Amino acid sequence: MKITPTNYTVADYCQAMTRKEIIVNRDYQRSDKVWPPAARSFFIESILLEYPIPKLSLYQVTDVRSKKTHKEIVDGQQRSQTIFDFFKNKLRLSKACEIEEAAGKLYSELDEKYQHAFLDYSISVDLFVSATPKEIRETFRRINSYTVPLNPEEKRHSIYQGDFKWYIYNLSKRYDQSLLNIGVFPEKRLIRMADAKLFSEIIHTLLNGFTTSVSTLLDNLYKKYDSSFPDEKAIDYRINQAMDIIFDLEEIHKGPLMKPFNIYTLILAIIHSKKPVEKITSIYKPKEDYMYDRNVVISNLTSLADSLEYPDKPSQKFKEFVQANLSKTNGAPARKIRFKFFCRALEPNLI
């Protein structure tokens, strides 16, 4: 078996597909699911912005009678079809496209600079030559054997392509650098989508109340709102409000309150204090005339952070809070305890 790395421009690749020199073989299709419009648009957007895309794999087949060859798409059929459809003016970009000049447009409606960017984009291809189907199958089995397994967040974002997934994607993208800067996540955890999990769990709690962190609950959340997410604008506004306050509280950045399990409950406490959330009001009822006072909040949150410096000898006042930081931190009981302490910390004279 011989594998030859090669490159095509999008223009050359699509012309070859037009001439049936590159064809789809459904036997290699790993899933019957078709990418929804949002996913297809995002993929083309990545090309227009010149981000790398996963390489494609083609299998070169020679007909000894006609002495002609063609290439079958072994890996990358959805990507190939998306590129070809946009090339053929059969795919319109989303109105939410990051490139404002391209939003909502077909290929023929793009400015020339984006048409050139699309046509000239280089597609990396592994070309299987003199290979049998068994050898191709074994190649992908071996690749999958030493590829790092997807974590639950990565799996969700590969399975679901609807409104909720794309909202979480954009929300995470908006705040990833800031979460790194204030010490919530290191780079390696952001790469593995820890921020997507954080925001998904916050939204799950806003809609359903506190639960113990379980992957299946978030799976169900993505599934339920895959076709539409009607609460997006309201929730987005409330999360943005909370994040603005947290970024302003520089004194507690990079400290123990910035651990993911604490930032989760602190964000919820700020949202709840601004406007009570029905599903969690039974745990803590904030003051009706709540007014945010930064000096009070910093003083109280600093006291909570200080209590975590010596967890073996906590003061009686903060003993329960410290314990909720030491074990089963993503369990519902610990989450509720931390939430109550953070809610009190946002109000004067309660800590």
Among residues 147, 178, 199, which one ends one of the domains?
A: 147
350 has pLDDT over 90: no
pLDDT, tens digit, 9 for 90 and up, residues 118-128: 999 999 999 99
Is 350 among the domain residues?
no
Band of residue 10 on the pLDDT scale cut at 50, 70, 90: very high
Among residues 104, 129, 147, which one ends one of the domains?
A: 147
Strand partners, 22: 71
15 has pLDDT over 80: yes
239 has pLDDT over 80: yes
**237 shares a domain with 135:** no
Q: Tell whether pTM > 0.85.
A: no
Is 34 among the domain residues?
yes
Band of residue 349 on the pLDDT scale cut at 50, 70, 90: low
**159 shares a domain with 128:** no
Distance CA 343, CA 56 (A): 51
Please tell me the predicted confidence (pLDDT) of residue 50.
Answer: 95
**315 shares a domain with 169:** yes
The number of distinct structural domains making up the chain is 2
Please tell me the predicted confidence (pLDDT) of residue 189.
Answer: 95
32 has pLDDT over 70: no
Please tell me the predicted confidence (pLDDT) of residue 138.
Answer: 85
Band of residue 31 on the pLDDT scale cut at 50, 70, 90: low
**302 shares a domain with 280:** yes
What average pLDDT does this structure show over 134-157?
Answer: 84
The dihedral built from the CA positions of residue 188, 229, 217 and 244, taken in this order, carries a sign that is positive
**162 shares a domain with 293:** yes
Q: Which of 127, 26, 18, 145 is nearest to 34 (CA)?
A: 26
User: Any idea which of 2-16, 244-258, 307-321 has the lowest mean pLDDT?
Assistant: 307-321
Q: Which residues neighbour 332 within 8 Å (Cβ) at sequence distance 6 or greater?
A: 210, 211, 212
111 has pLDDT over 70: yes
**240 shares a domain with 131:** no
Please tell me the predicted confidence (pLDDT) of residue 2.
Answer: 87
**266 shares a domain with 222:** yes
pLDDT, tens digit, 9 for 90 and up, residues 40-57: 999 999 999 999 999 999
**63 shares a domain with 168:** no
**122 shares a domain with 6:** yes
What average pLDDT does this structure show over 231-241?
Answer: 97
| Domain boundaries, position 185 | 153-345
* Average model confidence (pLDDT) across the chain: 92
**203 shares a domain with 88:** no
Please tell me the predicted confidence (pLDDT) of residue 310.
Answer: 81
Distance CA 195, CA 179 (A): 8
pLDDT, tens digit, 9 for 90 and up, residues 188-225: 999 999 999 999 999 999 999 999 999 999 999 999 99
**248 shares a domain with 227:** yes
Is 333 among the domain residues?
yes
Please tell me the predicted confidence (pLDDT) of residue 348.
Answer: 83
Among residues 147, 182, 211, which one ends one of the domains?
A: 147
